Amino acid sequence: MAQDNLNRDQATARIRAAVTQDLLSGRISLLLGWQKGLFWWRSRPLFARSQQDLERLVWDSFCAVNLSRYLPEELSIEERVGILVKGCDARAFHRLLQDRMLDRERVLLYGLPCPGMLDYRLLAEAGVKEAEQMLEEGEELVIQTGGGEERRPRTDFLLEKCRLCPHPDPVVYDQLLLPPGEPWMDPASRFQDLEARERPTPAERYAYWSGELQRCLSCYACRQVCPACSCRECFAEQQEPRWLGKGAGLNENMLFHIIRVYHGAGRCIECGECQRACPVGIPLLELSRRLAKDIEELYGPYEAGMDPEAPPPLLTYRPEDPAAFPEK
């Protein structure tokens, strides 16, 4: 599914041409896309309101940010917003629709099949420090090092959330701007990696997660990027009742992350933005996916964000649902 550098430039030009017409004609008043950040390995959100803004638009292997998270705020200002959506952005859009955070008629979705985004930390470990040291050729990365040229499979450098993604193509769009790709993962096997990493005893699970969560800085970056965190006021900042103190100890960290992940139970689209945004690398995606796995085992197959008309399992009652207590 990967595109080489030349094709990626052509794809960017095609995307820019399509959205320019809609923006200049007034069909949309804002386009949410991506532009290059301060570093070559970082593409950040672009809020384009003019043709000059659109000249900064990019579509490359670092457009990982889920843009749907910005829609509720922007729709409070703009009349109609256009947005570029990958598979995870589209599922996040459905999630926000279910939460009644959006008006579908005020959003224009431009679909982009996702080739999988690269993880700079993995590139850095391989010795890539400058953009000129890396070229994309189909399914391979060509890495230039002091010792010569090395070819590696592109999949070796994908973000974990992309390696685990069963739906790289957008599940909803108004206009598909690039040809659809082929999924690289069978949705039926989406929890196989968790089974391989199972920790059988409560003591082992506690030791693992306490070791991970004690590193939390309480920066709440995971909450800020999450499409399922759509509360007007977060419990972490409520004064009455007061749920959390101001410290960043293990107990406070555990309470925050347990409540956060349960709040997203059955609603999490597994986009992995929480983990990508975490400055200390806590495996937050694993925590959310383990809860999704439990829900599927209890209530049957369900993938959040696929169908806005399908209610999440924990917001639905059926008489045959399992109960954790004796029923008479």
What is the maximal distance between C-alpha atoms in the chain? 73
pLDDT, one tens digit per residue, over 182-200 is 777 777 778 888 887 887 7
Closest CA to 270 of 251, 293, 248: 293
User: For residue range 100-159, what is the model confidence (pLDDT) as tens digits?
Assistant: 999 999 999 999 999 999 999 999 888 888 877 888 888 888 887 777 788 889 999 999
Long-range contacts of 56-59 (CB under 8 A, 24+ apart): 57/12, 57/15, 57/16, 57/19, 57/31, 57/33, 58/12, 58/33, 58/34, 59/8, 59/11, 59/12, 59/15, 59/33, 59/34, 59/84, 59/112
- Tens digits of residue pLDDT in 61-80: 999 999 999 999 999 999 99
pLDDT tens digit sequence for 42-63 = 999 999 999 999 999 999 999 9
The alpha carbon dihedral of 254, 257, 260, 265 has a sign of negative
Q: What average pLDDT does this structure show over 85-97?
A: 96
Nearest to 257 by CA among 243, 270, 269: 243
- CA 116 to CA 177: how far, in whole Å? 17
Mean confidence (pLDDT) of the chain: 88
Phi/psi-derived region of residue 42, left when phi > 0, alpha when psi is between -120 and 50, beta in every other case = beta
Q: What's the confidence (pLDDT) of residue 72? A: 94
